[in-house]
Amino acid sequence: MLFRTEQRSFVMRLQYASDLHLEIPANRDFVLAGALEPAAEYLLLAGDISLLSDWHKADAFWDWCARSFQHTWIVPGNHDYHADRSNLLGLASLQVPVRPNVTYANNVCVHVEEVSLVLTTLWSAITLQKTEIEEEVVDYRQIYFDGKTISTEIVNRLHSESRAFLARTLQMCNPNKTVVVTHYVPVPQATPERYVNSPVREAFIADCCDLIDAYQPAFWIHGHSHVSGNVQYGRTRIVSNQLGTVRPGKELNFNPKAVIEV
């Protein structure tokens, strides 16, 4: 499926996907067998791709990205931070090349010709469901910050930092040539039905309607929910192309060649 903006003086094709979960052997085998087919010059991966603490396990995939695209950018998802006890890469901001043209980036804006790529994990604000989320969501036992497992207070701080980054960056970008890439779901309208009344709903949605209303980027790509989607919010097209967990008999709503044109 192809989505494009209306103004076409200069057009850039961007392929996108998320939630490949290469730390899972079945997912890694599926992806390396050709789950993605190159269909654009650049690839945007909206999180939950591979563990940052052990990215060499995905070397074959990084090599494929390096061969297949001019550049690949990966926004870390929550699972990418799992088991990183050292915290050497930090959580608030990073720009780490795993290949010369394959880069993990968080709270970074990249300008490619006329297009601005605004990249941030985003996280989510936990206000009403703190106890349930800390008990039920595995992040709070697997992600470390300053030598301790994270808390909802830390996640709220990271979310605030991401929102501040988005606000100061988007105000300087041409909205018609701006693509935001986050891991977390940015609007309630893109929330899968199973999470609408969930006791851990706040762990999945980072409501950014106010930012979209104010800055109206052309596209917003996300992941995290394991449900691919396409939602129009105002002048912003919100899309996702999520693989999720591969297992026998599971129907996958994943497009090997999902592309936007900006």
Confirm if 105 and 165 have CB atoms less than 8 A apart. Answer: no
Number of Cβ atoms within 10 Å of the Cβ of 91: 23
199, HSE (Cβ side, Cα atoms, 13 Å)? 8
2-261 CATH fold: Purple Acid Phosphatase; chain A, domain 2 (3.60.21)
Q: For residue 88, what pLDDT band results from cuts at 50, 70 and 90?
A: very low
The CA-based angle 260-261-262, given to 5 degrees, is: 120
- SS3 (DSSP) at 253: coil
Q: For residue 197, what pLDDT band results from cuts at 50, 70 and 90?
A: confident
- Token pair, residue 251, equals 């129907």
Collect all residues with Cβ–Cβ distance below 8 Å to 158 and sequence separation of at least 6: 91, 92, 121, 123
40 pLDDT above the threshold of 50: yes
Q: pTM of the entire structure?
A: 0.93
Per-residue pLDDT at 90: 60
- Token pair, residue 12, equals 């850039």
108 pLDDT above the threshold of 80: yes
Confirm if 246 and 30 have CB atoms less than 8 A apart. Answer: yes
238 vs 219: CA distance, rounded Å: 6
Of 255 and 127, the structure prediction assigns the larger pLDDT to: 255
Q: For residue 8, what pLDDT band results from cuts at 50, 70 and 90?
A: low
Collect all residues with Cβ–Cβ distance below 8 Å to 95 and sequence separation of at least 6: 103, 104, 105, 106, 108
Mean of the pLDDT values across residues 119-128?
93
Q: Domain residues of the chain, as ranges? A: 2-261
229 vs 238: CA distance, rounded Å: 8
Closest CA to 90 of 154, 168, 184: 154
Mean of the pLDDT values across residues 87-113?
86
Report H helices in 69-144: 130-136, 139-142
Per-residue pLDDT at 92: 74
Of 1 and 139, the structure prediction assigns the larger pLDDT to: 139
- The mean of the pLDDT values for the chain is 91
70 pLDDT above the threshold of 50: yes
65 vs 78: CA distance, rounded Å: 21
Confirm if 238 and 199 have CB atoms less than 8 A apart. Answer: no
